[in-house]
Amino acid sequence: MIRTIHPIAGAIALLMILLFWLSTAISELFTGPATVTMVKTLIPWGFIILIPALMAVGGTGFRLGARARAPLIVTKKRRMPFIAANGILILIPAALYLAAKAQAGAFDTGFYAVQVVELIAGAVNITLLGLNMRDGLRLSRSR
């Protein structure tokens, strides 16, 4: 069961973060303030799906690789603290801040500075989660 939950939860988490990132970039580049406000307001609601998915992928990954010493598993384990810290310390607070600022119509320097940080941190997490998915697929092929 864990071997089924882990890749599904990982794919959901990666797709959610990718959806947040793309919807932010597209709304900022090609739409007006009303759409940006809607996107920024909806992203925290997406945490209802994202956070359980991340918890499931982290918990199942910890169980699956608890004693493993394979290089790919060790590499995946090393990435996880960066992914978690980036999400907890940067992405979640930034999303909440940006949602509040957008709802207030405050598209000021602070909003855009945090938006840039959020896009960079999101791109980092997309990359790291993508690398973990790639390595997980390599591991599953070798079994």
- 96-108 tens-digit pLDDT: 999 999 999 999 9
pLDDT band at 139, cuts 50/70/90? confident
Q: What's the CA gap between 39 and 24, in Å, rounded?
A: 7
The SS3 of residue 53 is helix
Global pTM reads 0.90
> What is the rounded average pLDDT for all residues in the chain?
94
What is the set of domains in the chain, with CATH numbers? 2-142 (1.20.120)
pLDDT above 90 for 66? no
- Reported as a single tens digit per residue, the pLDDT across 56-65 is 999 998 898 8
Give 47's pLDDT tier (boundaries 50, 70, 90).
very high
